[in-house]
Amino acid sequence: MSTLRKNPNKIYVKVRADHLLDGSIRPLKFRAEDGPVFRIDRVMDVREAPSLKAGGQGVRYTCQIEDRQLYLFYDEPYWFIEADG
């Protein structure tokens, strides 16, 4: 994973998720290294989509966390969010 961490636009996160019987994944919470835990209030959209800032191909989860919208990406086997800026 060290070669993957060289991309400054990706923030790798640990995700707690439900794996449903139909094979889909529903993320529940995520946390960056040594950071706070964020509870995902609602998953608004799931689709195959690349991260435009960070690159990579995978599944993009549009999540609502409190009053903020966030894109959470699953590029198997890693989860990441895009860095701000």
Residue 5 has a pLDDT of: 60
Tens digits of residue pLDDT in 2-61: 445 677 888 999 999 999 999 999 999 999 888 999 999 999 999 998 887 777 778 999
- Asked whether 57 and 50 are in contact (CB, 8 A), the reply is yes
Cα(67)–Cα(76) distance, integer angstroms: 28
- The total of other beta-carbon atoms located within 10 Å of residue 1's CB is 7
- Listed by start position, the domains of the chain span 4-82
pLDDT at 33: 85
